[in-house]
Amino acid sequence: MSEKLEFKKVREFGEIINDLFLFIKQNFKALLKVFVYFCGIFILGSMISGIYQQIEMQKSLKTADDFASMMGKIFNLNYLLVLIFNMVSYTAMNVSILSFIAVYVKKGNETPELEEVWAYFKFYFFRVLGSGILISIFVGLCFVCLLIPGIYVMPAMMLFLPVMIYENAGFSYSFDRAFKLLKGQWWVTFGTILLIYFIATACQSLASLPALILTFFSAFTEGAKGLSNTVIIISTTVQYLCQVFIIIPLVGISFCYFNLAERLDSTGLMDRIEQMGSSKDAFNTPEEY
């Protein structure tokens, strides 16, 4: 059996990518179980409302008399329902996976049980939901004002939720701490996160490729008739099922957080110093400071 990964250590760019996939490989079943149990009902709600919205939108495109009428039929109550379900499901995905890692670290690199993750999940869910709305508004304003400020704050905002959950912190502390962690490490962190999201997007695109081909083929053959309801249901279902790949960036950003926190605070090193004499494995984690 391969050695369990230690999160609290300094890692270089390549090590973060390698350990990301090693961790997912070692804990794949447990991660998937947590994802399904805590996010499944929200993803199902998003899927059903999304399918209904797509079908209604296609009908609106065919029957609307003018542009204003078409917009009124598209941006309706059901559209608001889709937004709410998507927001809640995205929050559930973040909280469930980050809670899994928090318990994993707390247990000394042991895979957590479902009940242990649930205790974290219910504690942080609404805190993360409210904070996520504020952070989304902040990032949106940064991009609206100027593109460069939006890009600059993105890595820090990616670290915001890991700080909140791993350090049990409030909004203000998490916001400030995220920027402090990036001091002197912005470029390498930005590059790492960008690559991780590129990998996750590539995996998601590859998994949804059959549905995408079906959609293009149906659009080409049906022409003005539009997509059939069957194609809409299949493509939307696959799209939402592929959200499971969000596990990749969440685990990767967690490795980035612990790498930055270790460079700044050396908490992992201090923990191993305290364990000297009590465990011969205390310094089995090679790293440089």
Pull the structure tokens for residue 100.
């899994």
Chain centroid, CA 97 distance in Å:
8
Please check the confidence at residue 282 and state whether its pLDDT lies above 80: no
Q: Are 172 and 139 in contact (CB under 8 A)?
A: no
Alpha-carbon dihedral angle through residues 246, 251, 254, 256, given to the nearest 10 degrees: -100
Within 8 A by CB and 6+ apart from 183, the residues are 264
CA distance 47 to 88: 13
Per-residue confidence band for 215, with pLDDT thresholds at 50, 70 and 90: confident
Within 8 A by CB and 6+ apart from 217, the residues are none
Candidates 128, 40, 24; CA nearest to 85 is 40
Average pLDDT, the chain: 86
CA distance 234 to 250: 27
Residue 95 C-beta-side C-alpha neighbours within 13 Å: 27
Tens digits of residue pLDDT in 221-237? 765 566 778 888 998 99
Out of 22-31, 126-135, 199-208, 226-235, least confident range: 226-235
Per-residue confidence band for 84, with pLDDT thresholds at 50, 70 and 90: very high
